[in-house]
Structure 1
Amino acid sequence: MRFALIYDLYLKKVERKNRSKAELNQIIEWLTGYDAVALQKQIDSDHSMEIFFTQAPALNENVTLIKGVICGYRVEEIEDPLLQKIRYLDKLVDELAKGKKMEKILRQ
C-alpha cells in the first residue's frame, strides 16, 4: 500500500473525530523521526509503507511503550518488524481518534 493513500485514510479518520492534521503529523513525526518537510515529501511521493518506514530517520526510543491490541493483534507481540511499525502507527492514530491527550499518545 502507498503511504499517501494510508495517510489520507488516517486524516479522514481523525478529522471525523474533530482532531487535526497537525496532530496527526505530530504523532507520525514523533514515531518516525521525520520533520515536517520530510513528512510532506513522503506524503507527496508514491512510496510504499515499506519505503516510508525504511527511509524514516529513526523510530522513537519510546516506541516500546506502545502497547495494546490493534486489528486483533497485540502490537508488542508482532514479530514482523515492518508490520509492527505499521501497527504502532495504527495504534497511535486510533488513540488520537479516540480523543486521548497528546501527552499520553506520545508517551510523555
Structure 2
Amino acid sequence: MTLRLISAVAAVALMAAAGPAGAETPHPCAADAVDHARKLLAFHFGESDLSMSVDDTAKLVGTVKALQGKGHFDVLEVMGYIYKGEYRMHFIYAQIPGDCVLMGQEILETSDPY
C-alpha cells in the first residue's frame, strides 16, 4: 500500500468514528419547547381519556424575521400525539443569548382533510 492510500483509509476511519454526519447540539430552548408542547396539547384538548404524548426532542426548523425591527426568531418543532392524531407544533423564540423568550406558537394537525 502506498502512503497516500494509507492516509485516505485512516481519514475515512477517523470520520466514521466521529459519529453520524450532521449531529448537532440541541438548541438552548429545546427543553422549554417540549415543556410548552405538553401544555399546548393539554390546552387544546382539555382533560381527556385519550392518551396524549409529546416527543422529547425539539428540532430547529428555521428562522423567521421579526414583525418589527431587524431581528429574527428561531422556530423549534415538536411533534405531539393524541389517540390517532398527530400534531406539529412550532414554537418561536427570540434570538437572545442565555434567554428563552417565547414569542409565538402554532399547532397543526398533520392529517389530510381531502
| Fold match (TM-score > 0.5) | no
Compare relative contact order (CA 8 Å, sep 6+) and give the higher one, 1 or 2: 1
What's the TM-score once normalised by structure 1's chain length? 0.29
Which has the larger helix fraction?
1
Higher gyration radius (CA): 2
Greater share of strand: 2
